[in-house]
């Protein structure tokens, strides 16, 4: 568990576990990928000064949160595993943990994105929670929502949604683990919907970024966001049937979508892409300082999926975002792609 | 039919009616409240230069749109009446038209707001469409959506929702009347939901404005908007049962809500209210140049309604907005009111 969101979440979990001493072990082990900060090890800084100077400077981490640099060591006695790692490391980490964790472990993933099952992109994507579940053989719930790390770390009021398939058994436990005065949790059962909202909203944020870059106003942007949300609901309905429409009203749905389309990095990247006219890779390097934007990747994975299903016409926004990112379509043409949207027929 | 949105809509209707000569009379009469612009009458400027220099300067109005200054004259031969007037004039206008229009007239209202049935605010509000319907004895549909007048007038791509109770009979007709390349229409049957979204979103925009004024970030604002939307759905469910959850996903729902919470005047007013510390009336005068903000009025009407029903606890955001506008609660206390929101229980 690292990254800035990871550290922000560790601060919350460090506090909540102290509040429920009968339910939770007071010690929270946080896996830290070791780095040297000047002459000091990052893990030692965290364990002595209680601050992640690299990923969340200035924020005190509760003393019961302990940094552990050996991945297996950090997880082997855990009953609950919280996954907050960059998307691309999930597979490697899980394979390293395989067979070395307890049997009744409950996992929960905060990772937003989809896993492409093969380099050839043969259509079909995999949810990160399902990937973890398959490798480790444990139940994996998800936590998604409008949770920019900086604001969570500042203890600003925000909300999140937990998707927990075994809600009757573990819903209350997960809620207690994360719910706090300024981090308000709702728990729902259709975990797949929660997770798909978290991944697919990044495609919509790209569309919102193009809209901003082209200089359109509030109405157009709102229309683009709404049409994007409609494609998210249609995608979930088609590929993961059985979702509850109400779940899209949770923080993982509209709230995260709004935040991402106004304040997130995919929006920023795609706005700059239009304004500068530079290739997307180059803008990403210049603008995001080493962080990656999931939107274009997710758009590509989803494109192949709907294309192979013969459903491209039902997802004109998703398709347009992919083609614009690839340079196959000019950003200026996006709105024309939306004018005959199935929503308007 | 006047105001800047009125003129923007007249431009659209002027064009669409020409496209369907078998369905619509080619002449669109637009009631204009006569004013002198220098030495010229506004109506004469519109009918000769085809521009509403007061409310929509720089935009050409199709020649088949004719300004008429006598209200009864402008409506007496009409089959369709489009209402786009400031909320507070609806009653007076309808009483003037009573008995002087055809029997089979179909009305459609673009007016956002609720009518308070009495000065004593005895609880209970009335929809503007119902008010028109009662006075004139005609069917009244509604058109709502993310439609800031300036952008509609610019022919920017946007969407709108028509709520038409007799959808099978008149849905297609209304769609043809308004739908155009950059003004995309969806028609739904639960007109009350459409209209309530248009009115209640202004309360949420006030809350968003307070949030901005207090300096909160994107997560908090998204949470506030979401909780506001949840109260809108609960309000509709309780007072106007039978709504379709899908309708909240239309342009009249989330799209208009987003636009209003990011770009609208209620947001702007309430942000300035917090930042300046001046009374709301004064800020409104200074900031809105004679235009009025519906949010605080709607919050007051809704407050009395939920208070009298004993439901205040179910609508903490609506109640907090009203109390903050009245000076009974400090803006800083809004977030505390949301922390124990029924959505989080």
Structure letter (DSSP) for residue B180:
B
How far off is chain A from B204, nearest CA to CA, in Å? Answer: 14
Query: For A249, which residue in chain B has the nearest alpha carbon?
Result: B226
Element (H, E) at A51: strand A51-52
Alpha carbons A32 and A70: distance in angstroms, whole number: 8
Q: What is the pLDDT of residue A123?
A: 54
Contacts of A256 in chain B (CB under 8 A): 222
Spelled out in words, what is the top-level CATH class assigned to the domain B193-340? mainly alpha
Is A201 annotated in the active site? yes
How far off is chain A from B272, nearest CA to CA, in Å? Answer: 20
Contacts of B222 in chain A (CB under 8 A): 146, 158, 251, 255-256, 258-259
Tell if the CB–CB gap between B220 and A158 is shorter than 8 Å: yes
Alpha carbons A35 and A45: distance in angstroms, whole number: 11
Alpha carbons A256 and A77: distance in angstroms, whole number: 33
Of B216, B223, B341, which is closest to A255 when you measure between CB atoms?
B223
- Given a contact cutoff of 8 angstroms between Cβ atoms, the answer to whether B62 and B11 are in contact is yes
The CATH code for residues B4-190 is 3.40.50.720
Q: What's the mean pLDDT when you consider all of chain B?
A: 93
The residue assigned the tokens 């006047």 is B2
Among A24-38, A144-158, B107-121, B239-253, the minimum mean pLDDT is found in B107-121
Q: What is the pLDDT of residue B1?
A: 44
The residue assigned the tokens 């239009």 is A274
Mutate to test the interface with A, among B147, B223, B244 (most CBs of A within 10 A): B223
* φ and ψ of A5, to 5 deg: -65, -40
As separate numbers, helices (DSSP H) first and strands (DSSP E) second, chain B gives 15, 13
Is B112 within any annotated ligand binding site?
yes
pLDDT, tens digit (0-9, with 9 covering 90-100), for B40-82:
999 999 999 999 998 899 999 999 999 999 999 999 999 999 9
Torsion sign over Cα A92, A95, A97, A102: positive
Q: What is the pLDDT of residue B183?
A: 96
Residue B124 — pLDDT band, cuts 50, 70, 90? low
How far off is chain A from B337, nearest CA to CA, in Å? Answer: 12
Tell if the CB–CB gap between A159 and B223 is shorter than 8 Å: yes
Q: Residue B134: which region, alpha, beta or left (left: phi > 0; alpha: psi -120 to 50)?
A: alpha
Of B179, B219, B256, which is closest to A158 when you measure between CB atoms?
B219
Is A266 within any annotated ligand binding site?
yes
Question: Strands B28-31 and B36-37, how do they pair?
Answer: unpaired
Contacts of B254 in chain A (CB under 8 A): 225-226, 229, 254
Q: Cα dist. B242→B192, B246, B306 in Å?
A: 10, 12, 19
Tell if the CB–CB gap between B157 and A262 is shorter than 8 Å: no
Query: For B181, which residue in chain A has the nearest alpha carbon?
Result: A339
How far off is chain B from A244, nearest CA to CA, in Å? Answer: 11
- Given a contact cutoff of 8 angstroms between Cβ atoms, the answer to whether A12 and A61 are in contact is no
Tell if the CB–CB gap between A184 and B152 is shorter than 8 Å: no
Tell if the CB–CB gap between A254 and B341 is shorter than 8 Å: no
Is B89 within any annotated ligand binding site?
yes
Query: For B153, which residue in chain A has the nearest alpha carbon?
Result: A219
Asked whether the whole model's pTM tops 0.90, one would answer yes
Query: For A255, which residue in chain B has the nearest alpha carbon?
Result: B222
What is the pLDDT averaged over residues B250-256?
97
Contacts of B233 in chain A (CB under 8 A): 249
Element (H, E) at A212: helix A191-213
Greater pLDDT, B152 or B125:
B152
> How many Å separate Cα B160 from the centre of its chain?
12
Coil, helix or strand at residue A12: helix
What is the pLDDT averaged over residues B235-257?
95
Is B291 within any annotated ligand binding site?
no
Per-residue pLDDT of chain A (345 residues; tens, 9 = 90+): 456 899 999 999 999 999 999 999 999 999 999 999 999 999 999 999 999 998 899 999 999 999 999 999 999 999 999 999 988 899 999 999 999 999 899 999 999 888 766 544 555 678 999 999 999 999 999 999 998 888 899 999 999 999 999 999 999 999 999 999 999 999 999 999 999 999 999 999 999 999 999 999 999 999 999 999 999 999 999 999 989 999 999 999 999 999 999 988 999 999 999 999 999 999 999 998 877 888 999 999 999 999 999 999 999 999 999 999 999 999 999 999 999 899 988
pLDDT higher than threshold 70 for residue B117? no
Greater pLDDT, B237 or A345:
B237
Domain boundaries defined on chain A: 4-190, 193-340
Query: For B214, which residue in chain A has the nearest alpha carbon?
Result: A156
Tell if the CB–CB gap between A254 and B254 is shorter than 8 Å: yes
Q: What is the pLDDT of residue B114?
A: 83
Alpha carbons A172 and A188: distance in angstroms, whole number: 11
Give the count of Cβ contacts less than 8 A between chain A and B.
155
Among A112-121, B170-179, B205-214, the minimum mean pLDDT is found in A112-121
Is B339 within any annotated ligand binding site?
no
Q: What is the pLDDT of residue A124?
A: 67
Tell if the CB–CB gap between B159 and A263 is shorter than 8 Å: no
The residue assigned the tokens 């999140």 is A160
Q: What is the pLDDT of residue A290?
A: 79
Q: What is the CA radius of gyration of chain A?
A: 20
Is A112 within any annotated ligand binding site?
yes
The residue assigned the tokens 């359109």 is A216
pLDDT higher than threshold 80 for residue B119? no
How far off is chain A from B57, nearest CA to CA, in Å? Answer: 19
**Active site members of B:** 201
Alpha carbons B42 and B93: distance in angstroms, whole number: 20
Q: What is the pLDDT of residue B118?
A: 52
**ipTM rounded to 2 decimals:** 0.93
- In A71-172, beta strands by DSSP E: 80-83, 106-109, 114-115, 126-127, 139-144, 158-163
Q: What is the pLDDT of residue A116?
A: 66
């Amino acid at each position: 568990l690292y990254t800035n969101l990871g550290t922000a979440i560790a601060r919350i979990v460090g506090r909540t576990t102290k509040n429920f001493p009968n339910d939770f072990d007071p010690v929270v082990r946080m896996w830290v990928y070791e780095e040297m900060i000047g002459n000091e090890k990052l893990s030692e800084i965290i364990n002595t000064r209680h601050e992640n100077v690299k990923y969340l400077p200035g924020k005190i981490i509760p003393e019961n949160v302990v940094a552990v640099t050996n991945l297996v060591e950090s997880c082997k006695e855990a009953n609950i595993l919280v996954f907050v790692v960059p998307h691309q490391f999930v597979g490697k980490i899980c394979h390293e943990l395989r067979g070395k964790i307890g049997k009744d472990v409950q996992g929960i993933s905060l990772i937003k994105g989809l896993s492409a099952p093969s380099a050839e992109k043969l259509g079909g994507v995999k949810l990160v929670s399902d990937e973890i579940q398959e490798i480790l053989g444990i139940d994996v719930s998800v936590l998604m929502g409008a949770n920019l790390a900086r604001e969570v770390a500042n203890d600003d009021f925000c909300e999140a949604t937990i998707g927990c398939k075994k809600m009757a058994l573990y819903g209350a436990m997960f809620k207690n683990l994360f719910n706090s005065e300024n981090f308000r949790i709702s728990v729902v059962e259709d975990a797949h919907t929660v997770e798909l909202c978290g991944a697919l909203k990044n495609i919509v944020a790209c569309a919102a970024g193009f809209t901003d870059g082209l200089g359109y106003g509030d109405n157009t942007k709102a229309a683009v966001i709404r049409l994007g949300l409609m494609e998210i609901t249609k995608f979930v309905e088609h590929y993961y049937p059985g979702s509850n429409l109400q779940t899209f009203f949770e923080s993982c749905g509209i709230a995260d979508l709004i935040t991402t389309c106004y304040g997130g990095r995919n929006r920023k990247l795609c706005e700059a892409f239009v304004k500068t006219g530079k290739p997307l890779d180059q803008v990403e390097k210049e603008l995001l300082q080493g962080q990656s934007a999931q939107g274009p990747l997710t758009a590509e994975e989803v494109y192949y999926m709907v294309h192979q299903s013969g459903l491209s016409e039902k997802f004109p926004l998703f398709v347009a975002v992919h083609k614009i990112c690839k340079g196959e379509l000019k950003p200026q043409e996006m709105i024309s792609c939306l004018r005959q949207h199935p929503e308007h027929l």
